[in-house]
C-alpha cells in the first residue's frame, strides 16, 4: 500500500495519514466527499457502498473520476480505520482515502468535520481550482444520485446545498409510538414553516419546493464560499454556526428536495430537543404562527429596502444599512431588535405543536 502525501496546508493536527491502495482522481474531479467516523465499523461499509454505487441523473453509473472520498476515523481502538482500509482493498478502483487519529483524546464530531473540510479545501487550493466539498456521515446512506443531484444544484447557481435527511424505516419502526408521533409532527411543522418562508419572503436562490435542513449528514459547499464565510466557527452548534456564517455573506443556499439521504436517529440532531417532551406525554410548544408570519414579512420588507438602497445608494447614504456589505450581515445585526419588536406586537406565548400545524396549513391556503 502506498502512503498518500499530506498537503503542507493540511490542518488535521493530531492525525496521521493511513495507507490506502485506492487511486485518487487527478483529472476532472469536481467534488470531495468527507466522512467523520467514530466507532462506526458496523455501518461504514454501507455508507461507502452508497457512494461507490452512485449514478447520474439518467440512472447510468457515475464517472468515478468526478469525486473522491476521505474517511477520518477517530475511535481509539482503530476498528473503523481498519474496516475502511479493508474496504479500500476490496474495491481498489474506488477513490477512497483513510485518515485515522494518532492521539488518545476524543475528537468532537464538529471538530473532525471541520478538519476534513479544511483538508479538502487545501487540496483543491493546491490544484489551483475551486471545488465542492460534500459532507456526510458513516451511519448515513446517501441516495443513489446524491452526488449528481448535488452537482446539478451547483450548476444551477447554488453556493451551498443542504440535502433532505430522513430517518431510516428501521429507526421509525423501533421508536416509542409517542416519540415517533412527535418526530412526524416536528418534521411536518418545519417543512410547512419552510414553505411559509418561501411563500411570504420568496428567495430565488431557494424556491419552493424546499426544506429546512442543512446538517453535516448532507451538506455541500463551494470551497471559495467556505473560505469567504470564515469556515466553521468554533462556538455553538457546528451546523447552525456554519449556516449562519453563510447567511451573513449572502451565500446562495439551496435546501434541495432532490438531494436525499437516510440516516439513523442519532444523526438527525433532533431527538435531543423533543424526546423528553414526547415521552413525558407533554405537548411540544412552538411560537405562534402569527409571529412567524410577521417575522417573515419584516424580513421581506427589509430585503426590499436593501435592494432599493443598492440601486439608489445616493438616497440612503449614512444610514445603518450603508455600513454593511451583505444583507445577511445587516439582518443578523438587527435580529435582536426584530425579536423585541415581535415580543411587543405578536406576543411571546407558545402554542402546542399540533395547533401550530393546523394554523400553518390554514395560513398557507392564502398564498396558493
The secondary structure of 34-54 as a DSSP string is EEEESS-TTTHHHHHHHHHT-
Q: Return the pLDDT at 135.
A: 98
Q: Is residue 201 a part of any domain in this protein?
A: no
Q: Is residue 32 a part of any domain in this protein?
A: yes
Pick the more confident residue, 162 or 10: 162
Domain that holds residue 53: 1-138
**Pick from 138, 157, 185: which residue ends a domain?**
138
φ, ψ (nearest 5 deg) of residue 41: -65, -20
Q: Return the pLDDT at 13.
A: 40
Pick the more confident residue, 177 or 64: 177
**Pick from 93, 118, 138: which residue ends a domain?**
138
C-alpha cell of 15? Answer: 492525525
Q: Is residue 212 a part of any domain in this protein?
A: no
Mean pLDDT on 341-348? 91
What digits encode the pLDDT tens for the residues 271-284? 555 565 665 667 78
Q: Show Cβ contacts of residue 200 under 8 Å, excluding neighbours closer than 6 positions.
A: 293, 296, 297, 300, 367
Q: Return the pLDDT at 64.
A: 76
**Pick from 83, 117, 138: which residue ends a domain?**
138
Angle between helices 177-200 and 271-279 (to 10 degrees): 130
Give the global pTM.
0.90
Mean pLDDT on 281-299? 92
Q: Is residue 242 a part of any domain in this protein?
A: no
What digits encode the pLDDT tens for the residues 1-17? 233 333 333 334 444 44
Three-class SS of residue 89? helix
Distance CA 248, CA 327 (A): 7
What digits encode the pLDDT tens for the residues 182-222? 889 999 999 999 999 999 999 999 999 999 999 999 999 99
- Counting the structural domains of the chain, the total is 2
- From start to end of the chain, where are the E strands? 15-17, 31-37, 67-73, 96-101, 132-135, 140-142, 160-167, 219-222, 253-263, 285-286, 351-352
Amino acid at each position: 500500500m502506498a502512503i498518500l502525501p499530506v498537503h503542507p496546508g493540511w490542518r488535521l493536527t493530531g492525525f496521521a495519514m493511513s495507507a490506502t491502495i485506492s487511486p485518487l482522481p487527478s483529472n476532472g474531479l469536481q467534488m470531495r466527499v468527507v466522512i467523520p467516523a467514530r466507532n462506526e465499523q458496523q455501518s461504514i461499509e454501507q455508507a461507502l457502498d452508497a457512494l461507490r454505487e452512485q449514478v447520474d441523473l439518467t440512472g447510468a453509473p457515475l464517472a468515478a473520476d468526478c469525486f473522491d472520498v476521505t474517511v477520518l476515523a477517530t475511535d481509539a481502538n482503530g476498528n473503523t480505520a481498519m474496516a475502511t482500509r479493508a474496504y479500500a482493498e476490496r474495491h481498489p478502483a474506488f477513490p477512497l482515502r483513510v485518515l485515522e487519529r494518532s492521539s488518545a483524546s476524543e475528537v468532537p464530531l464538529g471538530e473532525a468535520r471541520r478538519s476534513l473540510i479544511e483538508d479538502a479545501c487545501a487540496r483543491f487550493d493546491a490544484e489551483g481550482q475551486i471545488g465542492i466539498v460534500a459532507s456526510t456521515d458513516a451511519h448515513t446512506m446517501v441516495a443513489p444520485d446524491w452526488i449528481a443531484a448535488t452537482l446539478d444544484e451547483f450548476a444551477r447557481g447554488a453556493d451551498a446545498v443542504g440535502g433532505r435527511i430522513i430517518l431510516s424505516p428501521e429507526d421509525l419502526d423501533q421508536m416509542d409510538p409517542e416519540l415517533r408521533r412527535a418526530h412526524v409532527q416536528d418534521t411536518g411543522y418545519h417543512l410547512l414553516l419552510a414553505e411559509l418562508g418561501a411563500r411570504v419572503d420568496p428567495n430565488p436562490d431557494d424556491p419552493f419546493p424546499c426544506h429546512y435542513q442543512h446538517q453535516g449528514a448532507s451538506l455541500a459547499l463551494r470551497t471559495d464560499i467556505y473560505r469567504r464565510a470564515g469556515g466553521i466557527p468554533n462556538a455553538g452548534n457546528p451546523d447552525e454556526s456554519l449556516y449562519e456564517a453563510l447567511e451573513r455573506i449572502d451565500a446562495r443556499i439551496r435546501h434541495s428536495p432532490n438531494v436525499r439521504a437516510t440516516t439513523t436517529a442519532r444523526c438527525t440532531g433532533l431527538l435531543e430537543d423533543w424526546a423528553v417532551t414526547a415521552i413525558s406525554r407533554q405537548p411540544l410548544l412552538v411560537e405562534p404562527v402569527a409571529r412567524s408570519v410577521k417575522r417573515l414579512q419584516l424580513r421581506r420588507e427589509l430585503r426590499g429596502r436593501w435592494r432599493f438602497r443598492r440601486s439608489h445608494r445616493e438616497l440612503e447614504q449614512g444610514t445603518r444599512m450603508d455600513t454593511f456589505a451583505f444583507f445577511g450581515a445587516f439582518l443578523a445585526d438587527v435580529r435582536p431588535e426584530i425579536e423585541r419588536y415581535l415580543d411587543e406586537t405578536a406576543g411571546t406565548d407558545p402554542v402546542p405543536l399540533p395547533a401550530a400545524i393546523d394554523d400553518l396549513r390554514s395560513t398557507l391556503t392564502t398564498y396558493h
